[in-house]
């Protein structure tokens, strides 16, 4: 679903604003229903929290966007520019039917690059380094995505006369080979995570002196960069996901009966592709690693539509399991960027006005998952994923039991979104 409020000057086609959220939710695992403090579809308000699946992801954005815009219009607000609200219906299952179609329509109606800024769901703000300094973390890029299918086909037969390795055995060897070659974490000076680390070191009140010094030295000293990478990996376990492509073997299947040699076995390996890599680079690396197994067992290797070599004992095929390959998202510029200045300035103004904080730091960061914005790359260079709510507004987390949010946080979000719309429409920067 999408709604557009045409501006008074719709002829100017590069300064539109798009605010996105999604209406779908992840399911509730039936066996966990009894673990909820209040039932997952009750919408119960207990005086502090509003309970239910979707309250945090992503109804908070959906409701806040609608209330902010509705109340502006009721007060006679007439934007000079065109404001678009888009609500996906299947973000939790890839977004093709919702945002996928909305994106096509918006590109036809408004053109490529027609949005000055796109805002979608993201992280809440918090005080991770103490000292009452609030860090707000808009995501400026997202990791890429690739599900690898490894399929091994070998001749069948009776299990009483088996070859040394069945299709399942060879598949297991291929998986072991992949896991023996994890992607190496790399902290790149031109990468988003390096900038995030620099920002924490410069503005985090209670970061260690060692971290602060290393981060500063790492700007032009390679040894310091190496030590900083080690420090991050040791102390922040999730750093590895920000520094490297990750791989997780998630599905496996093969064989039909215990006295029949399996003629086919397959596994699916989920990958989240690092900012510095690409789908093609990842596929090339996988083909190289698996080729050693295929060659050793005299199997034909078909890698992503190309026959790498021919063997006589069967075949290993590598493919995109569900045709869902996605490149890492283009990095939204933050230097000399009017859109970033607009967003960051609005965040700072909103937080200084509503919280008793000593400082506000806007720290661009890197999303490990994907949002509906994966369809919006053609519409704007300035895509931000950010939730203007305090982290403690959530009772628990997203996608799990006890999803609940403090409605006071929604009031704050509505205030922020209202300010963003007004600042965008008044700004002379676009």
Minimum CB separation of residue 225 from Zn ion in Å reads 34
Binding footprint of Zn ion, residue count (CB under 5 A)? 3
Contact residues for 215 (Cβ-Cβ < 8 A; gap 6+): 197, 198, 200, 201, 202, 228
Contact criterion met (CB below 8 Å) for 155 and 191: no
Nearer to Zn ion, 121 or 151 (CB): 121
Q: Given its phi and psi angles, is residue 279 left (phi above 0), alpha (psi -120 to 50 degrees) or beta?
A: alpha
Catalytic (active site) residue 24: yes
Contact criterion met (CB below 8 Å) for 280 and 150: no
Minimum CB separation of residue 59 from Zn ion in Å reads 10
Nearer to Zn ion, 65 or 294 (CB): 65
Nearer to Zn ion, 121 or 425 (CB): 121
Q: Name the segment binding Zn ion (CB under 5 A); options: 74-82, 114-122, 202-210, 283-291.
A: 114-122
Minimum CB separation of residue 1 from Zn ion in Å reads 16
Helix (H) or strand (E) holding 180: none
Q: Name the segment binding Zn ion (CB under 5 A); options: 119-127, 186-194, 197-205, 332-340.
A: 119-127
Q: Closest by alpha carbon to 260, among 160, 379, 137?
A: 160
Minimum CB separation of residue 142 from Zn ion in Å reads 13
Site map for Zn ion, 38-67, x if CB under 5 A?
A: -------------------xx---------
Minimum CB separation of residue 417 from Zn ion in Å reads 17
Beta bridge partners of 80: none
Nearer to Zn ion, 197 or 329 (CB): 329
The two beta strands, 300-303 and 264-273, are unpaired
Nearer to Zn ion, 57 or 412 (CB): 57
Q: How far is the CA of 159 from the CAs of 164, 227, 256, 298, 387, in angstroms?
A: 11, 53, 12, 21, 57
Angstrom distance (rounded) from CA 274 to CA 322: 20
Nearer to Zn ion, 98 or 204 (CB): 98
The DSSP symbol for 26 reads: P
Q: Name the segment binding Zn ion (CB under 5 A); options: 115-123, 174-182, 221-229, 241-249.
A: 115-123
Q: Which one of 61, 91, 121, 372 is the catalytic residue?
A: 91
Minimum CB separation of residue 54 from Zn ion in Å reads 9
Radius of gyration of the chain (CA): 25
Minimum CB separation of residue 21 from Zn ion in Å reads 8
Task: Rule CB under 5 A: say whether 425 interacts with Zn ion.
Answer: no
Nearer to Zn ion, 118 or 286 (CB): 118
Catalytic (active site) residue 323: no
Angstrom distance (rounded) from CA 99 to CA 223: 44
Contact criterion met (CB below 8 Å) for 349 and 417: no
Q: Which one of 24, 107, 123, 177 is the catalytic residue?
A: 24
Q: Name the segment binding Zn ion (CB under 5 A); options: 116-124, 184-192, 295-303, 305-313.
A: 116-124
Footprint (CB under 5 A) of Zn ion, residues 184-213:
none
Q: Given its phi and psi angles, is residue 314 left (phi above 0), alpha (psi -120 to 50 degrees) or beta?
A: left
Cis ω for the linkage preceding 182 (within 30 of 0): no
Question: Cα–chain-centroid distance for residue 52?
Answer: 23
Show which residues are catalytic.
24, 91
**Residues contributing to the site for Zn ion (CB under 5 A):** 57-58, 121
């Amino acid at each position: 679903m999408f709604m557009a409020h045409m501006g008074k000057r719709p002829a100017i086609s590069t300064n539109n604003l798009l605010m996105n959220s999604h209406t779908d939710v992840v399911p509730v695992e039936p066996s966990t229903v009894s673990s909820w403090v209040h039932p997952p579809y009750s919408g119960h308000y207990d005086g502090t929290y509003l309970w239910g699946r979707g309250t945090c992801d992503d109804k908070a954005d959906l409701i806040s966007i609608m209330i902010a815009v509705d109340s502006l219009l009721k007060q006679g607000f007439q934007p000079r520019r065109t404001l678009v609200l888009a609500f996906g219906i299947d973000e939790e299952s890839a977004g093709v039917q919702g945002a996928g179609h909305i994106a096509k329509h918006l590109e036809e109606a408004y053109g490529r690059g027609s949005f000055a800024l796109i805002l979608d769901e993201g992280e809440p703000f918090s005080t991770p380094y103490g000292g009452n300094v609030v860090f707000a973390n808009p995501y400026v890029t997202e990791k890429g995505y690739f599900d690898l299918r490894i399929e091994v086909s070998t001749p069948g037969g009776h299990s009483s006369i088996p070859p040394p390795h069945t299709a399942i055995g060879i598949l297991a060897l291929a998986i072991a080979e992949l896991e023996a070659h994890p992607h190496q974490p790399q902290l790149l000076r031109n990468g988003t995570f390096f900038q995030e680390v620099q920002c924490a070191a410069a503005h985090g009140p209670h970061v260690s002196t060692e971290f602060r010094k290393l981060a500063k030295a790492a700007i032009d000293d390679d040894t310091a960069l190496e030590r900083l990478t080690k420090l991050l990996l040791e102390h922040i376990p999730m750093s590895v996901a920000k520094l490297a492509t990750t791989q997780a073997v998630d599905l496996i299947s093969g064989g039909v009966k215990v006295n029949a040699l399996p003629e086919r076995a397959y596994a699916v390996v989920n990958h989240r592709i690092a900012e510095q890599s690409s789908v093609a680079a990842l596929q090339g690396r996988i083909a190289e690693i698996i080729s050693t197994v295929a060659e050793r067992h005299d199997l034909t290797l078909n890698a992503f539509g190309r026959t790498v070599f021919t063997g006589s004992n069967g075949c290993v095929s590598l493919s995109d399991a569900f045709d869902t390959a996605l490149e890492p998202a283009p990095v939204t510029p933050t230097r000399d960027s009017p859109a970033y200045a607009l967003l960051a300035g609005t965040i700072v103004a909103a937080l200084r006005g509503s919280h008793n904080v000593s400082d506000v730091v806007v720290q661009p960061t890197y999303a490990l998952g994907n949002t509906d914005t994966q369809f919006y790359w053609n519409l704007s260079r300035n895509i931000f994923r950010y939730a203007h709510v305090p982290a403690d507004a959530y009772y628990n987390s997203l996608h799990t039991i006890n999803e609940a949010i403090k409605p006071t946080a929604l009031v704050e979000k509505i205030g922020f979104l209202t300010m963003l719309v007004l600042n965008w429409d008044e700004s002379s920067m676009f």
